[in-house]
Amino acid sequence: MNTSSPKTIVIIGGVAGGASCAARLRRMDETAEIIILERGQFASFANCGLPYHVGGVIEKEDSLLVAKGPVFKERYAIDLRTRHEAVSIDRNVSEVEVRDLESGDSYRLRYDALVLAPGAGPLRPPLPGIGLPGIFTLRSIADTRHIKGWIAQHAAKSAVIVGGGFIGLEMAENLKHLGLEVTVVEMLPQVMPPIDAEMVSPVHAYLRAKGIKLALGAAVAGFAQNGDRLEVQTQDGSVHPADIVILAIGVRPETALAKAAGLTLGERGGIRVDEQMRSSDPKIWAVGDAVEVRDRVTGSWTLLALAGPANRQGRVAADAICGLPVAFNGTQGTAICGIFDIAVASTGASEKVLQRAGVTDYEKVYLHAGHHAGYYPGAERIHLKLIFRKSDGRVLGAQAVGIAGVDKRIDVIAMAIQMDATVYDLEEAELCYAPQFGTAKDPINFAGMIAVNHLRGDDPILHWQDSQLTNYDLLDVRDPDEFADGHAPGAINLPLNSLRSSLGALSKDRQLAVYCAVGARAHNAVRLLRQHGFVASNLSGGYTTFGHVNSAL
């Protein structure tokens, strides 16, 4: 511990980043005075659990409290002041003006170090009717009380969720659990906007199978009251009636306090900080949803409302305040969303992020593998997209969708990205195997192998989205019954088992794009064809990916 560390540390905001910072500070300095100012009624609560409390999965509100009030005082000797709002910062004298929201009194609080952890607030765009009763956002425990109360008091039977991101889909699931008819209205043509469109296609089908109505590509124009019900009006002229409306269209960093104090804000609107989470004022640090951080893959500044990075940032800020040589090395946005029984997860850069950043040195592969051995009962398919750098094979990102095993695979790839690993490393990764947990060659290994085969030139890959695909003859090597059930337009069918005896039906003057159901048989076919003098490439992910891509168009 650095004996020159500040003695009075004020933290504004007491949820993930702020509470984590306070607890770490106490562990590092027993003598410091640590004060948390939280304008809400609760500190250190699990806001990721809020939708599940609304739906009754988490029955007790008390379960959402990660650290109850007395813990701060009794275990950590931290002065937690809930319902106390920081209204201004006077950097010249290192003081914060505070208002007691219960009494209305104001006072000034001196600091040696100040940590801003105000989080982000839900967006409420200035649309007609946005203030009507029955339209809610979800960001706090108080919000869950209001939503649950409205549903009970009005015997709500239908809901419209505006926004198809994490919170929107989690709320859709939980309101469906309560027996409500649910419609998700999303202005983009897909839910889960951070995920590449073709990877969300199975999610759309799954949600509809669960009875969730999807209004995609539908921007909200306004809201209206029609008798006892609300109406959500979209720009295409559609009207979606509901007894309750949940706005889940994103969040905006809470930076008013920082801006008024003259702290530097970044290009994305968040508080600009260095690697030690220090703001433009050497006495002021900032953590959590309100700050801009570096993307580990692209190097660009980004805003990220995730609890994991916020907690790590709180710890880094605490150590920096105590004089330790620490750094927050950026984020790769590792995240997962559970929707009924399906999971959608990602880490690193998506293809759309790379394209926005102007990155062209990348390739991708698709696979659709079982989450454990197929001969063991209960195997579920994982749809996986792996993105890597063409020049050296460095792993850049991954996305996965499936009923089981999704989190495990994305976690492995997340660590690979953090360690600057390559697809060659994934090919060689030694992972747990027993038939009920995985396969001897895990989907992670398969993803690495497919990528490495491409980079080595053994099995060149193409994609259904490639414009140059029109220059290829499509060869379907599935069995005739599979071909008859559906195939890509213009494809010819030569089943793998009889391909050697059918080579005369193919011209070596034409390039071949080969596919099967998921890519494995096509790999064998490509190896065979290339050794017989044909120019052949594998359509990554096979006919399954073809379906996803076409559904996303």
89 CB burial (10 A radius; 0-12, 13-18, 19+)? buried
pLDDT at 48: 87
**Could you tell me the two tokens for 416?**
């690979």
User: Which tens digits make up the pLDDT trace of 222-254?
Assistant: 999 999 999 999 999 999 999 999 999 999 999
Mean pLDDT computed over 438-448: 96
Amino acid (one-letter) located at 440:
A
pLDDT of 59 strictly over 80 = yes
User: Which tens digits make up the pLDDT trace of 72-86?
Assistant: 888 999 999 999 999
pLDDT at 47: 81
Whole-prediction pTM = 0.93
Mean pLDDT computed over 441-462: 97
**Which uninterrupted H or E stretch holds 484?**
helix 480-485
**In 517-531, which positions are buried (b, 16+ CB within 10 angstroms) versus exposed (e)?**
bbbbbbbbbbebbbe
pLDDT at 223: 97
pLDDT of 180 strictly over 60 = yes
Mean pLDDT computed over 153-180: 96
pLDDT at 64: 86
Backbone angles phi, psi at 331, to 5 degrees: -135, 155
Mean pLDDT estimate for the chain: 95
d(CA 487, CA 479): 11
User: Which tens digits make up the pLDDT trace of 500-545?
Assistant: 999 999 999 999 999 999 999 999 999 999 999 999 999 999 999 9
pLDDT of 4 strictly over 60 = no
Mean pLDDT computed over 471-485: 98
pLDDT at 69: 64
465 CB burial (10 A radius; 0-12, 13-18, 19+)? middle
User: Which tens digits make up the pLDDT trace of 294-338?
Assistant: 999 999 999 988 889 999 999 999 999 999 999 999 999 999 999
Catalytic positions, written as ranges = 48
